[in-house]
Amino acid sequence: QVQLVESGGGLVQAGGSLRLSCAASRSIFSINRMGWYRQAPGNQRELVASIGIGGRTNYADSVKERFTISRISAKNTVYLQMNSLKPEDTAVYYCNALIPPDNYWGQGTQVTVSS
């Protein structure tokens, strides 16, 4: 099991940047995949970015070239650097850890991008 705590959300103007952090309660070195998802009002939760043990990353088309996911095992933390933010990036962002067969979620952090 693992507990996840997100931080770093907030209100930012379009074109601005934010960095989200996800602190894990245990070592993330052996966690198969960690990722960030988001959910806007009325929408389903969607994958934003994920990163595997070997550092392989995957991004939603809508955030490629703008967002960067990274995992620092020594800090038990996963980051999501978000640049060139757009109003459509407004959502609650959730950290996720895949430890088969279970998925673990944080409580979410709100990101609001004003136009």
Angstrom distance (rounded) from CA 3 to CA 94: 12
pLDDT at residue 45 tops 90: yes
Give the pairing of strands 109-114 and 10-13: parallel
- Paired tokens of 55: 């550092």
Q: What is the average per-residue pLDDT within 107-115?
A: 97
Angstrom distance (rounded) from CA 5 to CA 51: 17
Angstrom distance (rounded) from CA 71 to CA 53: 9
Angstrom distance (rounded) from CA 16 to CA 85: 6
Q: What is the average per-residue pLDDT within 20-44?
A: 95
